Amino acid sequence: MCAARLYNQCSKNDKSMIDKEKLLASHHGKSSTGNEDNAAAERLIRQTGRYLRLLHITHEAIICVDERCKVLIFNQGAEHLFGYHQDEILGASAHRLLCPKFRHTDKHRLGVLARIARDNHIGFNTDRIICKRKNGERFPAEVSLSQTALPGRHLYTLVVRNATERVRAEEQLAHAARHDELTDLPNRTLLKDRLSAGIARAQRYQRKLGVVFLDLDDFKPINDHYGHETGDCLLQAVAKRLRDTMRQSDTVARVGGDEFIVSLEQIKTTDDAIAAARKLDSALRQPFSLLGKQISISASIGIAVYPDHGNDPATLLRHADQAMYSAKATHHNPQLFQQSG
């Protein structure tokens, strides 16, 4: 296929780019007769034409920019992803496609990647770039960047992929790893992290931190009598009531079948922890209406307080557990941990 015919197949904007490259090629010609200049220009047209055809037949969003990040090529995949027609974006800065909130940070990151690609002649991938569509909608993106060397200049090709589904899946997995499946409360892993952070804050601000361990009394007979569906509904109702009873600064976690733990932050005295535990005890004694049934429960409650009963999450949890078993055995509820000996 001759250069002229290939040139004629290109879009108006693509022709403009080819014309610029043809002019650039002629400036680098070796022959004073112009024959070598024409041959170089035609080779460049053929190379650029093939490159442009490939860009426009792929579904990937591909953007070609110069060293100043000005958009030179904006293919159909990019039009579909960002909502701009190429006429609206060609010649503009690629940073226009970034979310304004993240523009400064991501502009710097893209600039660094471009310099690395230029200096090392290789491409790089980056993710969690926050992009913005024409309609203002924001989305996370993965960006692959590679260098294309042309006579006298460097161009950079960005392949942009919508990462919304991947990011959502990762967030769901991360959430599932740190939350109880039935109640969506924090699980033991997240609880320990929150306790560690809470202890650090309590130490910094010279406050106490309470750990309240609750074990539902006679849950198994309820489960056996009414069925597992009702038992699960009861656990979910207990979780909601505990959350509703506590403050936002507190953490309510489910750590076992019928075991719950509440971390009490921003308390000043041991009496504050005891008062909170009594409030929880009173809330749980109110009947639950589930699936047309009225169910009454109670819980054995143990309390441990930082720094009186431990300086780390494991010690506080163990002592609160021991206090809970003491409450269950003595029917004295709630029970503060007592040092033996």
- Hey, which residues are catalytic here? 258
With H, G, I as helix, E, B as strand and everything else as coil, classify residue 157.
strand
Task: State the amino acid at position 131 in one-letter form.
Answer: C
Quote the tokens at residue 90: 């060609």
- Of 180, 322, 334, 302, the residue nearest 252 (C-alpha): 180
- The C-alpha atoms of residue 192 and residue 213 are separated, in whole angstroms, by 14
Q: Amino acid letter at 141?
A: A
- d(Cα 283, Cα 177) in Å, to the nearest integer? 29
Strands 153-162 and 138-150: what pairing?
antiparallel
- DSSP string of 18-68? HHHHHHHHHHT---TTSHHHHHHHHHHHHHHHHHHHHHHHSSSEEEEE-TT
